[in-house]
């Protein structure tokens, strides 16, 4: 069964993200999951389209 998550690596301000994309935000050390299509809004900002996923870095981006 395929995972509903898509590891996208470190968050990039210029990248468009879709629901299910998972990113690591280097500045705060948290991992976030995209819930709404978004671009250009850092994940820690309210209503950015991201929700906090984990409070630690996922090192290899392996299968969820």
Spatial strand order of the sheet with 21-25 comes to 6-10, 21-25, 30-34, 50-54
The residues, ordered by sequence, that sit 6+ positions from 45 with a Cβ below 8 Å of its Cβ are none
* 3-state class (DSSP) for residue 45: coil
Residue 53 pLDDT class (50, 70, 90 cuts): confident
Residue 63 pLDDT class (50, 70, 90 cuts): very low
- The pTM (predicted TM-score) of the whole model is 0.80
Domains of the chain in start order, with CATH, are 6-54 (2.10.10)
Q: What is the dihedral of CA 3, 46, 40, 12, to 10 degrees?
A: -50
Percentage of the chain exceeding pLDDT 90? 70
Residue-wise pLDDT tens digits, 3-30: 789 999 999 999 999 999 999 999 988 9
Check residue 8 and give its pLDDT.
Answer: 96
């Amino acid at each position: 069964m395929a995972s509903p998550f898509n590891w996208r690596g470190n968050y990039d301000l210029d990248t468009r993200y879709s629901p299910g994309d998972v990113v690591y935000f280097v500045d705060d050390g948290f991992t976030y999951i995209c819930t709404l299509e978004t671009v250009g809004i850092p994940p820690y900002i309210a209503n950015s389209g991201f929700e906090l996923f984990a409070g630690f870095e996922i090192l290899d981006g392996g299968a969820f």
